[in-house]
Structure 1
Amino acid sequence: MTEYEELRAKVNKLQEMRILLTAIIDSTQDAISVVDENGLGIMINPAYTRLTGLTAEDVIGKPPTVDIAEGESMHLQVLRTHQAVKGVSMKLGPKRKEAIVNVAPIFVSGQFRGTVGVLRDRSEIHKLSEELERVKRLIRHLEVKYTFSDIIGESDVIKATIEQAQRAAITPATVLLRGESGTGKELFAHAIHHASERKKGQFIRVNCAALTDSLLESELFGYVEGAFTGAKRGGKVGLFEEANGGTIFLDEIGEVSLNLQAKLLRVLQEREIVKVGDNQSFNVDVRVISATNANLEAELRTGKFREDLYYRLNVIPVIVPPLRQRRDDIPLLVHHLIGSLNQEYGRCVELVNEEALQILMGYHWPGNVRELENILGRAIINMRIGETVVEQHHLPVLTLPNVNSTEAYPKIGNSTLSEEESGFEGLQRQWERALLLATLQRAGGNKTKAARQLKMSIRNFYYKLERHSLI
């Protein structure tokens, strides 16, 4: 092959490569624009034209400002700094199309040769975000739901409660679940939904005490675009709207402000909601189940809870008993919880021996079933690998402070503390947990009142309850 033929072959190969690269750029769905080192446009692809409305004739050989409807050219910025920019929101072309722009410098053999921009239609990103939210809602709907068969117990008091809840499930009426923290009110709410005609619809739980008043309002009712500073583009679907055709579970309803109580009353009375920042209402078909450990009747007398809302919520009251009123169920609960904890911790514990079981049977259980699960979990962690029987020395201390005493602080015994718990930090955790339990008992299970007694915010109080697995 002559030198001319070799050169010709290289040229042909380069031309084929250029055709291939052009075809790749033209086939991509992302808009691409390329600017040379002199700041003039040298290439765009069809996706760029579809996004901006500008053709090659409008762009090639022109400065990279011709496509800017609002904002600064990112090509010019990268030409000056040789540093990439990412995620800049701009309006492009005669139709002022909103796009997210990423621009990077081009270096060939160490020499700066220009910039390349990749542009994405912001409306497409918004559609993807909406689809992601839709999938999240679908996943939430497909999560395992509790049924009445998941409620463990054979005592007369729990059987009566289950029967009352089953009667409530087959009606469309609102249900108010009453009971101390940790008794299983949410489990009953799931079971009622699952046994109702709405079981194919959404079940959405809202912790009314965990959110500020304004945030709770926007979560429940949604908001329109521009409703407040930081509002999401396109607005937000509220939980009432999301639960349309299903059930919404308002946990800790006693903590809702009077302002928000009035808006909840409208939902129950008129079956309609108004988004934050909007003045138009639209209908929703949602069943409301609420729960509280507060004394709502006392709240009525002090004017902290609306009487009209109380009667709307309390159509069918279901009282979930504390564990101390169903002690006969403790062995069944222990057996069930050990099975769950074995899966969680990868253990093979078989049972609790008689001595340890008697301690569990004699305890007051201010934290109810949730506390029982926590105690058993800690006992299993204290066990050596291979041990299969929970004994007394595995259990953490269960001595509850005397809430009627005049002592300012609870005492912590050390007769059953493990070696890990007997240090300063372990004793401090035991003391803090006992203090939380004692204060909750003193406040009759009302978390707001307990937080006030400890002179801490309700959020901080909830954080500490979660830290000690009391919620």
Structure 2
Amino acid sequence: MEFVKEYFRKIIENINEALIGIDKYGDINMLNGIAEELLGIKSEKVMGRKIREVIPNTKLIRVIENKSEEINYRFSSNGRQFRVNRLPIFYKEEIQGAIALFQDVTDYNKISRKLDEDEVYIDILNTILDTFNEWIVVVDENGIITMMSKAYKEFVEDPNPEGKHVTEVIENTRMHTVIKTGIMEVAEIQKIQGRRMIATRIPLKKEGRVIGAIGKVMFKNVSDLRLLSKKINKLEKEIAYYKNELDDKRIAKYSFDDLVGKSPKMIEVKTMAKKAAKTNSNVLILGESGTGKELFAHALHNASSRNLGPFVKINCAAIPSELLESELFGYEEGAFTGAKKSGKKGKFELANGGTILLDEIGDMSMTMQAKLLRVIQEKEVERLGGNLLKNIDVRIISSTNKDLEKLVEKKEFREDLFYRLNVMVIKLPPLRERKEDIDTLANELKKKIANRLGIYVEEISQEAINYLRNYHWPGNIRELENVLERAINLLDSDLTIKAKHLPNRLIKQKSKTYSGGDRDLKAIVEEVEREIISECLQKTRGNKNKAAKLLGISRVGLYKKIERYNLY
């Protein structure tokens, strides 16, 4: 009999399910190790005790009462979920007790629900991809395809690519390379079956390890990208239009973030400009033509305490001296022939509470300098033809490409006005002194010009960049913009700006040095200036107003240069 008990005990202990048994009185008489662990009880403490004292909600007593089995039921205990089979024990047709065989199905239920959810998500994802005709592929860490959208399968003509290495299915793919490097590749050109496409590849990472990658064909043809580029360009032109409308409302458009360049000289000048912006003193911006003086003026205003006030600008060289007074100070009704009946506010009145930019201040006549000095000293203006003085609160930012100190020495600029304007001085470096910024500037200008012209440009070749770096840029950033616009207009189907798209003067200048030779620097600069003006006049078909705007100089200045270089 002892042998039978030991044999029975071994069976109970080694079955794969938890087991608990009771006699016909409801006392626990069987309990294996798995049941102890799952129920959190010990056999030596519960053996012989009523099962309801140990498991209050047990249904095993019901089996004895009903004398019938209960298969595949569920119950919970200790925060876990179990699946149970309850069986009555008979001897000579009399009920003697019951046993329960149960399994922990908590994790199984979670996994099952997760799989069901994932299957639903996958079905939804596939439906979305197929509906929107997306071309997407997913690979595992070994480059094996685990999923591919229906549209992509149709294009590569493989209905069952799953399980194959991506290189066997997709021509010129780099998905396996992205898995190795872990580096995302965005908007790269990929040639598949003779078609040039734009593709993006993104590594999938978990806990810092690459576990796969996802690839998407963003544009099925480069022409699609060009079409989208044109649509974006149209929207940007609309935005530009509204920006111009804002400009008419006298709002500064640029901030220090818009000033491109991280060279030491550029960092130094931006630091100085930011300090000047915090003051309320007048600022004088010095720099060669095309160095970005107006952009700095915008940024100064926007970074100042006057940023909510108006920003008014006037080019002192572009307006004849006899009209400049009425533009600056305004006029009353009947002040002169052709004057508006209601009169007109001058720029100083319009700038009240804000900032006025007096661009090309070095070209202002001595007469106007005296009148400007009085306005600065008295902080009041009197309209032309009027007799009322109006108080104004205006900060003056003036700019020039001329050496005002030399003009003062030559008695061509008032010394007292010079010291009124020359409180905070910002001297912008020419482009040739900050060539470290040329790469960044060229790429930013490329985007700006391409958007304006509605032409998609992929990049600037390294060879072209090298030529840009080695040129001396007498026309500074404005000349660089002119060169890039010319290059973009000459672009062919490869969408890349190359050396062949650059003007001859840049290609020739690479091997030249300017420390000596037969000609001095002034002669070389004049030659380049003559060539730039000549090209601009050809581009505008002799329209001098348009040419002056493109060159960023006044009409008067352009006429002088045309006469100087015999460009009639």
Q: Which of the five TM-score ranges fits, normalised by the shorter chain?
A: 0.5 to 0.7
Q: Cα deviation per residue 1:10-41 (whole Å; 9 max; x = unaligned)?
A: xxxxxxxxxxxxxxxxxxxxxxxxxxxxxxxx
Tell me the residue number matched to 2:33: none
Cα offset, 1:350, TM superposition: 2.2
Cα offset, 1:285, TM superposition: 0.7
Cα offset, 1:397, TM superposition: 2.1
8 A Cα contact 1:177 1:291, kept in partner:
yes
**411 and 292 in structure 1: CA distance in 2 versus 1, 3 angstrom threshold:** closer
3-state SS of paired residue (2:313): strand
Cα offset, 1:144, TM superposition: 6.1
Tell me the residue number matched to 2:309: 201
Q: TM-score, normalised by structure 2?
A: 0.49
Aligned counterparts, 1:173-212, within 5 A: 173-212=281-320
Tell me the residue number matched to 1:63: none
Tell me the residue number matched to 1:364: 472
**409 and 296 in structure 1: CA distance in 2 versus 1, 3 angstrom threshold:** closer
Tell me the residue number matched to 1:236: 344
3-state SS of paired residue (1:145): coil
**163 and 210 in structure 1: CA distance in 2 versus 1, 3 angstrom threshold:** same
Counterpart Cα distance in 1 of 2:312 and 2:432:
30
Counterpart Cα distance in 1 of 2:499 and 2:254:
32
3-state SS of paired residue (1:146): coil
Cα offset, 1:347, TM superposition: 2.0
In the alignment, structure 1 residue 396 sits paired with structure 2 residue 537: no
Aligned counterparts, 1:112-131, within 5 A: none
Unaligned runs of 5+ in 2: 1-243, 543-550
Q: Cα deviation per residue 1:42-90 (whole Å; 9 max; x = unaligned)?
A: xxxxxxxxxxxxxxxxxxxxxxxxxxxxxxxxxxxxxxxxxxxxxxxxx
In the alignment, structure 1 residue 166 sits paired with structure 2 residue 274: yes
Q: 1:302 aligns with which of 406, 410, 432?
A: 410
Cα offset, 1:388, TM superposition: 2.1
Unaligned runs of 5+ in 1: 1-135, 415-424, 434-444, 449-455
Aligned counterparts, 1:42-441, within 5 A: 140-141=248-249, 145-384=253-492, 386-398=493-505, 402=519, 410=527, 429=538
Cα offset, 1:194, TM superposition: 0.3
Cα offset, 1:138, TM superposition: 6.6
Cα offset, 1:406, TM superposition: 7.9
| Counterpart AA for 2:380 | E
Counterpart Cα distance in 2 of 1:427 and 1:137:
28
3-state SS of paired residue (1:374): helix
Q: Which structure has the larger Rg?
A: 2
Counterpart Cα distance in 2 of 1:258 and 1:427:
32
| Counterpart AA for 2:292 | G
Tell me the residue number matched to 2:6: none
Counterpart Cα distance in 1 of 2:305 and 2:299:
12
Counterpart Cα distance in 2 of 1:142 and 1:237:
14
Cα offset, 1:299, TM superposition: 0.6
3-state SS of paired residue (2:402): coil
Q: TM-score, normalised by structure 1?
A: 0.58
Cα offset, 1:349, TM superposition: 1.3
**405 and 192 in structure 1: CA distance in 2 versus 1, 3 angstrom threshold:** closer
8 A Cα contact 2:474 2:525, kept in partner:
no
Deviates most, 394-403 or 240-249: 394-403
Q: Cα deviation per residue 1:82-114 (whole Å; 9 max; x = unaligned)?
A: xxxxxxxxxxxxxxxxxxxxxxxxxxxxxxxxx
Counterpart Cα distance in 2 of 1:312 and 1:457:
27
Counterpart Cα distance in 2 of 1:428 and 1:173:
40
3-state SS of paired residue (1:366): coil
8 A Cα contact 1:218 1:238, kept in partner:
yes
Q: Cα deviation per residue 1:276-300 (whole Å; 9 max; x = unaligned)?
A: 1123211111110000010111111
8 A Cα contact 2:252 2:301, kept in partner:
no
8 A Cα contact 2:252 2:299, kept in partner:
no
**331 and 458 in structure 1: CA distance in 2 versus 1, 3 angstrom threshold:** closer
Counterpart Cα distance in 1 of 2:321 and 2:271:
35
Tell me: higher relative CO, structure 1 or 2? Use CA pairs within 8 A at least 6 residues apart: 1
Counterpart Cα distance in 2 of 1:411 and 1:239:
36
| Counterpart AA for 1:339 | K
In the alignment, structure 1 residue 458 sits paired with structure 2 residue 557: yes
Cα offset, 1:238, TM superposition: 0.5
Q: Cα deviation per residue 1:218-252 (whole Å; 9 max; x = unaligned)?
A: 00000011111111112111010011111100000
8 A Cα contact 1:338 1:350, kept in partner:
no
Q: Cα deviation per residue 1:277-335 (whole Å; 9 max; x = unaligned)?
A: 12321111111000001011111111110111000000000001100000000000011
3-state SS of paired residue (1:398): helix
| Counterpart AA for 2:449 | L
Number of residue pairs the alignment of both structures matches: 299
**201 and 426 in structure 1: CA distance in 2 versus 1, 3 angstrom threshold:** closer
Deviates most, 396-405 or 334-343: 396-405
Please tell me the root mean square deviation across aligned C-alpha atoms, in Å.
3.4
Counterpart Cα distance in 2 of 1:369 and 1:176:
20
3-state SS of paired residue (2:505): coil
3-state SS of paired residue (2:281): coil
**142 and 232 in structure 1: CA distance in 2 versus 1, 3 angstrom threshold:** closer
Aligned-pair identity in percent equals: 45
| Counterpart AA for 1:387 | D
**230 and 334 in structure 1: CA distance in 2 versus 1, 3 angstrom threshold:** same
3-state SS of paired residue (1:372): helix
